[in-house]
A and B are shown apart, each in its own frame.
Chain A
Amino acid sequence: MARDWQPQFERLVDEHQSMVFSLAMRMTGDRGLAEEIAQDVFLELDRHMDKIESPQHACFWLRRVAMSRSADALRRRRVRGVDLWVEIEEDYGARPEEKSSPLGARLEGLLVTLPQPQRAALVLRYQEDLTPEEIAATLDAPLATVKSHLQRGLKLLRAKAACHLREYIRGA
């Protein structure tokens, strides 16, 4: 059966480069690595263009591959014994024009200290505005596990924020 929608690579890059880059950067905390991952994800998309059926499918596919590639990159770094977060600046290398509010930047910085599965669930929930069901489908994980990661991640982040932001307010 012929498809009505034909994917155009350049258009998909234009539409989704910000999403893929942001996901990779929030998962790895490294701008350079995030750009590398984003390029790899789009090159993989280029190889699988014939399998993409709709704009929604393209978006889902890109999210899924971006998360999986980011997890692979983090695993490779752990194997090599590099503690990524030690190298990260306060706002983990954001360009000056991209810096969010000080409070937002602090929260973003605290997010990257969470365990990777919890971080993945929170990034998809609050950056991409996905439901737990959609997150489960994206991460290929059971719904109960995703809900648990969301709850625990949010609880841990609140606790860290309460502690760090108190110091921040005191210091300001």
Chain B
Amino acid sequence: MDDFEIELRQALERRPAPPGLKHRLMERRRWRRTQHQRGHAVLWQRLAASVALACALGGGLAWRHQQEQRQGEAARQQVLTALRVTSHALNKVNERLASHGRADQE
């Protein structure tokens, strides 16, 4: 190593960090951690709200589906009853017509 390199080495000695650098750094670190935690809390809140909304929507849809099924079943029962009544009435008419036919033959 020649004189020039020795001079360069002396010129490039480490400089002390500015006063208060560590303090400012620790402040930023604290602030960042708070933001990070707040970010996590907001994330969890959003997640919980999304889950609640999804549950409410799912529940609503399931309830609506059930209602429709119930109404469909009731309508089916009504149709069946109407068919049964009609069938009964037609049987009666048929019986009467048959009895009238027999009376005419006699």
Interface residues of A (CB under 8 A from B): 9-10, 13-14, 17-22, 25-26, 31, 35, 38-39, 42-43, 46, 94-95, 98, 100-101, 103-105, 107-108, 111, 122-123, 126-127, 129, 154, 157-158, 161
B36 CB to closest chain A CB, in angstroms?
Answer: 10
Residue numbers in A under 8 Å from B28 (CB-CB):
39, 43
A26 to B12, Cβ gap below 8 A? yes
Interface residues of B (CB under 8 A from A): 4-5, 7-18, 21-22, 24-26, 28-29, 32
Known contacts A126-B9, A161-B4, A31 near B18 by CB under 8 Å: yes
Residue numbers in B under 8 Å from A25 (CB-CB):
15
* Contacts beyond the supplied A9-B29, A126-B12: 10 A-B pairs with Cβ under 8 Å: A13-B25, A18-B14, A21-B21, A26-B12, A31-B18, A42-B25, A100-B11, A108-B12, A111-B11, A126-B5
A43 CB to closest chain B CB, in angstroms?
Answer: 6
A38 to B7, Cβ gap below 8 A? no
B14 to A108, Cβ gap below 8 A? no
B84 CB to closest chain A CB, in angstroms?
Answer: 77
Residue numbers in B under 8 Å from A123 (CB-CB):
12
A18 to B17, Cβ gap below 8 A? yes
